[in-house]
Amino acid sequence: MPTLKEVIEDLNWICDRISTQVRTMSIGLLAITWGLLIGKPEISQPLPLWLKKNLLAIGILALVAMFSDFLQYFFGFWVVDNLRKSMEDKKQAEAEYDYGAISYKLRGFFFCVKLILVVIACIWFLAVIIPFCVGAILTSSS
């Protein structure tokens, strides 16, 4: 049976992995959408306006997900730094986080926001790129 310390360590590791995946997927989406939007039409067929608009929106979602990642860590720093200052002022060796503090709540909020945004962006990307590619293949084979 795991101890509370082991559960917290596991949770920290999982959250770190999730954050890394969010960054990787967001950067990947940005690279793909940007590449498709600025690609040369001589190399690939010109993109229809509906696809360009969707790719732009997907890229914006990926950027907002990355900014949410930054905000999560910003508020996390704020939480930990405030606790450190409080511990130093009171000369405490141990203390509890203020789970009711707005900075603590925002830290968790932005963690959830970045996950939701990157999932939406990935699903949206697949929902527009797959039909476009299938249509392009069917058109070129006829």
- The pLDDT value given to residue 82: 92
> pLDDT tens digit string along 104-140?
999 999 999 999 999 999 999 999 999 998 988 888 7
Predicted TM-score (pTM) of the model is: 0.86
In the predicted structure, residue 68 carries a pLDDT above the cut 90: yes
Which helix (H) or strand (E) covers residue 19, if one does?
helix 4-38
- Domain ranges in the chain are 4-77+105-141
Residue 63 buriedness (CB in 10 A; 0-12 / 13-18 / 19+): middle
Rounded to the nearest integer, the mean pLDDT of the chain is 91
Per-residue pLDDT band for 60 (boundaries 50, 70, 90) equals: very high
CA distances from 10 to 27, 38, 59, 71 (A): 26, 42, 32, 23
Per-residue pLDDT band for 141 (boundaries 50, 70, 90) equals: confident
- The pLDDT value given to residue 142: 67
- Could you tell me the end-to-end alpha-carbon distance of the chain, in angstroms, rounded to an integer? 62
Per-residue pLDDT band for 39 (boundaries 50, 70, 90) equals: confident
